[in-house]
Structures are given as C-alpha cells and as structure tokens.
Amino acid sequence: MKEQVKFGVIYQVMVIGVVCIMLSSCSTYNKIYSDDDIVYSTKRFELKYYCKDRDRRTPIYFFTQSIVKEVDQNNNVSYRAYDVLFLISPSFKLDEKVILIIDNKPYPMVIDKIELENVKTISENTTDIQTSDSTTVSVTTGYSENNKKITRFSYKIPVSTIMEIKKANQISFRYYSGPSMITVKPKKLSIKKIKELIDIE
C-alpha cells in the first residue's frame, strides 16, 4: 500500500514538472513586446510564435517566426519577418523564396537575408547493469547522432500585404525543399496575435 501511495506521489510530481516546463518554454511565445529604439528613434513591437509540423511527408519539424513592427517619429510603419525553419538532415536545401498565402492568394516576399546552418548533436546511450554484489552500474552501450538543418529568412512585409492579413480568415507560409512543398499554418491564437500586432499603436 505504501509503495502504491509513493508511486502516485512521484507520478503527480512528474506530471506537474512536465506541465511547468511546457508552460515556461511557451511563455515567450504569442506575446507582444514593445521597446524604444533610441538608435533609430523608433518604437518597436515584436511578436514571436512557433508551429510544430506533424505531416511526415514534409522535411520540416519545427518553425518559429518573429514579426517586428517599427513606427518612426513621422508615424511611418514598417514590418519585418524573421523565419527559422528546422529541417531533417536528408532534406534538400530550401529554395530562396517565401510565399505568404492569404485566403488562398499568394504573395511572394522579397528576401533580404538567408542563413544556413547544419547542427549535429551526439548523445550517449547507457543502460544500468546489476553487478554480483547487487550494486547498479551505468554502462555506455553506444552513441546516437542527431543532425538537422536550420534555415533563417528575413524579409519585409509590405504594408499593403499587412492590410490583407488584417482582414484575412486564413494565413499560411509556403516554402520549397527539393520535391517537398512545405506549408506552415499558424494556429488561430497566433493569427489573432498577428492582427493584434497590426492594430497596436
């Protein structure tokens, strides 16, 4: 009975811990932050959100986007997007194009900058073995290698396109990687936050 109670407490602590980690990792997403840029004399608003792709036919498994809105002293407004795509290692290099799709109408973006990065992580595989004197020893059984490609795009979103986003029902971003067509669809909360960013003054 005591063992069952102990296991129940441990399980509850583990669940609470996982929830706390998830909440803390998402705390910086889907929020709008504002700053004064004294260098360029602008007011800056930044929104960051992420999407995790579950379509196994495409090579992408994670996407983040930051949209920065800047308002200068003459109330001129500009918008810039910073996209980061995490792709599986066998994938083809992404084409140097980003297409914003608003209510099924494509709007090609003009890319200012693109960065490519290959990341390799090696983790140790271990197993616990009980010795003859009943002590447990951790033994290395091998190593696992994880490779991924990271592509970063930055580009301006024209104000005319921003106005289309403001009244849109659906928004998505299209990328191409060899034979793969990648479509990133922001969640409803993220779309709501993008529109909130547009309206903020």
Dist CA 113 CA 136 (whole Å): 53
Beta bridge partners of 115: 152
Task: Look at residue 113 and tell me whether its pLDDT is greater than 50.
Answer: yes
Q: Locate tokens 């407490």: which residue?
A: 9
Amino acid identity, residue 63?
F
For the chain, the structural domain boundaries read: 2-199
Q: For the segment 56-96, what is each residue's pLDDT rounded down to a tens digit?
A: 788 998 999 999 999 999 999 999 999 999 998 889 999 99
Q: For the segment 114-132, what is each residue's pLDDT rounded down to a tens digit?
A: 999 887 666 677 777 877 7
Q: For the segment 154-166, what is each residue's pLDDT rounded down to a tens digit?
A: 999 999 999 999 9
Q: What is the mean pLDDT of residues 17-25?
A: 39
Amino acid identity, residue 52?
K
